Chains A and B, each alone.
Chain A
Amino acid sequence: MADKVHDVIMIGAGPTSLAAAVYTSREDIETLIFEKGIIGGLAAITDQIDNYPGFEEGIEGLQLAEKLQKQAERFGATIELGEVQSVKKDGDVFSLSTTSGELQAKTLLIGTGSEWKKLKIPGEDDFYGRGVHNCATCDGAFYRDKKLVVVGGGNSSAQEALFLTKFASHIDILIRGDKWKASDVLVDEAEKNDKITVHFNTTTDEIVGGDENKVTAVKGTKDGQETTFEVDGVFVFIGLKPVTYFLEGSGVELDEYGFVKTNHKLMTNVPGIFCAGDVRSGATMQIAAAVGEGAAAALSIREYLENYQREMIPNGNGQD
């Protein structure tokens, strides 16, 4: 049994929760944020963020994450490093099973964001961390003057490939479809870069290693023909999936893709559980939007807690 009931526990310390925490903490709503990975989320491992307002020259993802964290903590929010394993309604409160024991809260904010999808091809798991990567800012330095494949045709693929050109001698970008999904600005920059070659209509079929247990090649199919790229490493950016495993059994409704459904106040079908940012159904997957949703969710949480204090907890299903 938990020894106290928190006003709000936020699950995930990405931009969504950190922005929400600025609002809740400033209003003396006692706020605990739980993070199992990186404070700042995927934003923190992004090399350079040029589309977040207020930084005319752009800002490094890690630096933005640190600023968001400091601002939330300045008003009294507490960040705990650990994992929330399950959530359940327990009378008038929510009980959370965590790596730090059982915790209780009057309200919850789900701000877990999303994580990288896998290719699910032979060799991917065998060489993960030893030639197969999802974090260019972490692992790019191991590929000075080496050849790389980057898989994916979205913004992350283009941006991370550009970052990797600081190290790699050449990068082949493999895109399954016949065009980019990335923004024109990034596409233009990537296609102008002498170190990058873009291959459309190219699937990634197998990652192959050599005697030293390192990646030596990527096999793919280009325009129906088998093709081999002799490279030293592969960076995979083929899209994101929502992080919701801890909600199993909680009663929180997900959409057909596994994202959390909310109403216009960012409340789920379980009254008192709110959701914002990339994990929310309909999210735009932008840092600026995640921050905005965090602020909006914080205001809804405040309103809910005001009713909670008056013992007027809504009984509706929350789906307006």
Chain B
Amino acid sequence: MSKKITVFTTNTCAYCAMVKKWLDSKGVKYNVVNLDENPEKQKEIYEKSGALTVPVTLIEKEDSTEEVVIGYNLARLASVV
């Protein structure tokens, strides 16, 4: 069960818009961190994902473990959200 979901995005990222549309379609609540507005968060998300790309979806679970989904990956998102 998900505790908290955060989607890391940028202003111009179409794949980010798709992740948000998909989460909306599933009725899943999430927070958004826009890296254009919060560039200081880039280091944090790189450390968690190992990737220099968005979207990155961070799923913090009830048991305090984390899942990281890189990109617009519906199969992965569906399995962890």
The 9 closest A-B pairs by CB, nearest first: A137-B12, A44-B14, A142-B52, A138-B13, A129-B53, A45-B14, A129-B51, A141-B10, A139-B53
Instruction: Spell out A's residues near B (CB within 8 Å).
Output: 36-40, 44-45, 47, 60-62, 65-66, 81-82, 99, 129-131, 133, 135, 137-144, 213-214, 233
Q: How far is the CB of B71 from chain A (nearest CB, A)?
A: 7
CA distance A90 to B30 in the complex (A): 42
CA distance A214 to B72 in the complex (A): 22
Q: Give chain A residues whose Cβ lies under 8 Å from the Cβ of B22.
A: 81
Instruction: Take A129-B71, A144-B39 as given contacts and tell me if A137 and B14 are in contact as well, using a CB distance cutoff of 8 Å.
Output: yes
Name A42's closest neighbour in chain B (CB-CB): B14
Instruction: Determine if A38 and B12 form an interchain contact, defined as CB atoms under 8 angstroms apart.
Output: no
CA distance A45 to B15 in the complex (A): 8
Instruction: Determine if B14 and A61 form an interchain contact, defined as CB atoms under 8 angstroms apart.
Output: yes
Instruction: Determine if B12 and A62 form an interchain contact, defined as CB atoms under 8 angstroms apart.
Output: yes
Instruction: Determine if B74 and A81 form an interchain contact, defined as CB atoms under 8 angstroms apart.
Output: yes
Instruction: Take A37-B72, A81-B22, A144-B39 as given contacts and tell me if A129 and B15 are in contact as well, using a CB distance cutoff of 8 Å.
Output: no
Instruction: Determine if B70 and A138 form an interchain contact, defined as CB atoms under 8 angstroms apart.
Output: no
Q: Give chain B residues whose Cβ lies under 8 Å from the Cβ of A37.
A: 18, 72
Name A65's closest neighbour in chain B (CB-CB): B14
Q: How far is the CB of B81 from chain A (nearest CB, A)?
A: 14
Count contacts between A and B, CB distance < 8 Å: 81
Which residues in chain B, 17-64, are within 8 Å of chain A measured between CB atoms?
Answer: 17-18, 21-22, 25, 35-36, 39, 42, 46, 50-55
Q: Give chain A residues whose Cβ lies under 8 Å from the Cβ of B39.
A: 141, 144
Q: Give chain B residues whose Cβ lies under 8 Å from the Cβ of A82.
A: 74
Name A80's closest neighbour in chain B (CB-CB): B25
Partner of B52, one of A66, A99, A137, A233: A233
Instruction: Take A39-B18, A65-B14, A213-B50 as given contacts and tell me if A142 and B42 are in contact as well, using a CB distance cutoff of 8 Å.
Output: yes
Q: Give chain A residues whose Cβ lies under 8 Å from the Cβ of B10.
A: 137-138, 140-141
Partner of A137, one of B13, B72, B74, B75: B13
Name A213's closest neighbour in chain B (CB-CB): B50
Q: How far is the CB of A59 from chain B (nearest CB, A)?
A: 13
Q: Give chain A residues whose Cβ lies under 8 Å from the Cβ of B16.
A: 138
Name B12's closest neighbour in chain A (CB-CB): A137
Q: How far is the CB of A103 from chain B (nearest CB, A)?
A: 17
CA distance A212 to B72 in the complex (A): 25
CA distance A140 to B21 in the complex (A): 22
Name B45's closest neighbour in chain A (CB-CB): A142
Partner of A60, one of B12, B25, B50, B53: B12
